[in-house]
Amino acid sequence: MRSRTTGGLSFHALTHAGRAREQNEDAYFANGEEGLFIVADGMGGASAGALAAEIVTEVLPLLIRRASASRRSSKSIVSKQSSREALCELSNELRRRSEGQPGLHGMGAAVVVAQIRGRRACITHLGDCRAYLQHGSSLERLTKDHSVVQLLLDSGELCPEKAATHPARNRLTRYVGMAGEPLPDSRVVDLQPGDKLLLCSDGLTAMVDDTEIFRMLKQRRSARRLCEELVGTANEAGGKDHVTVLLVTCPHDSMVARRSLSRNR
C-alpha cells in the first residue's frame, strides 16, 4: 500500500492476492515527481507471473527514462513513442530471459502505463490491464483489452453479458514477453482539475463492472479510501484473481496555488 502527494498529484496504490490465489502476481510502480505510474499483472504460473510483474515494475521505468532522454523529450511534454519503445524493448528482453528456462516458459505480463506531464497524460498498454478517467459525471475507459474475448466482442460474435464467463476470457493477444512484435497501444488525454485516473489489473474489472467502478470513483473520498473500497468490492464479489488499483487525483487549481505560496514563504 502506498499513498503520497507529490508534484501536485495525489495518488494511492493498493494490491491484494484476492481470495483464490496464494501468491500475488501483480505489481505496481508510482512516482509522482516523474508523473510515472505502472500496473503489471504477471502470467505464466505463480512463480513466473510474480517474477514477470516484478521485472516490469523495476525495469520499465528505467527504459522509459532512457527512451525519453534519447529523444530529448521535454519534461513538460508527454511522448507516446518513448513508452512504446520501452515496452517493446522490455517485451523482447523478457521473452529472451524466459526461453529455455525451467519454470519460466510462457512468462509474461499485462501492463498499463501512465505518464503525466502538466495537464496531459499518455496512456500505453499491452494486455488487459486498464486505465479509466473519471471526470465529473462521466467515466471513460481509456484502453481496449488485448484479448480473445475483446476480438469476439468487436466482431459481434459475443455479447457483453457472456464475456465474463467465456472460456477464453483469460487469453491475451498481446502482452509483455510475447513472441513476435508486441505493438502496444498508446493515446494522450487532457486532464482537468479534480479528474481521477485509475490504473488497474483485471482482478478488479473481472469482478466489478464499469458502472460500479464509476459509482465509487465519483464519491468525494480520499484516494486511499477509494482504493480500499475498489479492492474490497472485488474481493466481496469473489476475489477470483489478484487485484491492483492505482488511483491518481489531479489537484484543483486552488490547491496548486496554495502549495506554491507555502513553498515560496
- Each residue's pLDDT tens digit, 63-93: 999 988 876 555 555 678 899 999 999 999 9
- pLDDT reading at 256 higher than 60: no
Domains and CATH numbers, the chain: 2-264 (3.60.40.10)
Predicted local confidence at residue 259, as pLDDT? 42
Q: What does pLDDT average to over the chain?
A: 88
- pLDDT reading at 217 higher than 70: yes
Per-residue pLDDT band at 45 (split at 50, 70, 90): confident
CA-angle at 39, arms to 32 and 238, nearest 5°: 130
End-to-end CA distance of the chain: 33
Give me 2's grid cell.
502506498
- Please give the share of the chain, as a percent, with pLDDT higher than 70: 89
- pLDDT reading at 160 higher than 90: no
> What are the b/e assignments for 160-178, b being 16+ CB within 10 Å?
eeebeeeeebeebbbbbbb
* Residue entry with cell 505493438: 183
Composition of the chain by helix, strand, coil, percent to 5: 35, 30, 35
- Each residue's pLDDT tens digit, 91-102: 999 999 888 788
Strands 138-141 and 130-135: antiparallel
CA-based diameter of the chain, in Å? Answer: 62
| H or E element, residue 70 | helix 46-70
Question: What average pLDDT score do residues 187-213 get?
Answer: 96
The C-alpha atoms of residue 34 and residue 240 are separated, in whole angstroms, by: 33
Predicted local confidence at residue 2, as pLDDT? 60
- pLDDT reading at 173 higher than 50: yes
- Each residue's pLDDT tens digit, 27-36: 999 999 999 9
Per-residue pLDDT band at 265 (split at 50, 70, 90): very low
Q: Name the pTM for this structure.
A: 0.91
The C-alpha atoms of residue 115 and residue 80 are separated, in whole angstroms, by: 9
- pLDDT reading at 200 higher than 70: yes
The C-alpha atoms of residue 47 and residue 260 are separated, in whole angstroms, by: 46
Question: What average pLDDT score do residues 170-194 get?
Answer: 94
**Positive or negative torsion for Cα 41, 23, 2, 62:** negative
The C-alpha atoms of residue 173 and residue 20 are separated, in whole angstroms, by: 25
The C-alpha atoms of residue 153 and residue 83 are separated, in whole angstroms, by: 27
- Which of 44-48, 117-121, 127-131, 242-246 has the weakest average pLDDT? 44-48
Surface-to-core class of residue 66, CB atoms within 10 Å of its CB (0-12 exposed, 13-18 middle, 19+ buried) = middle
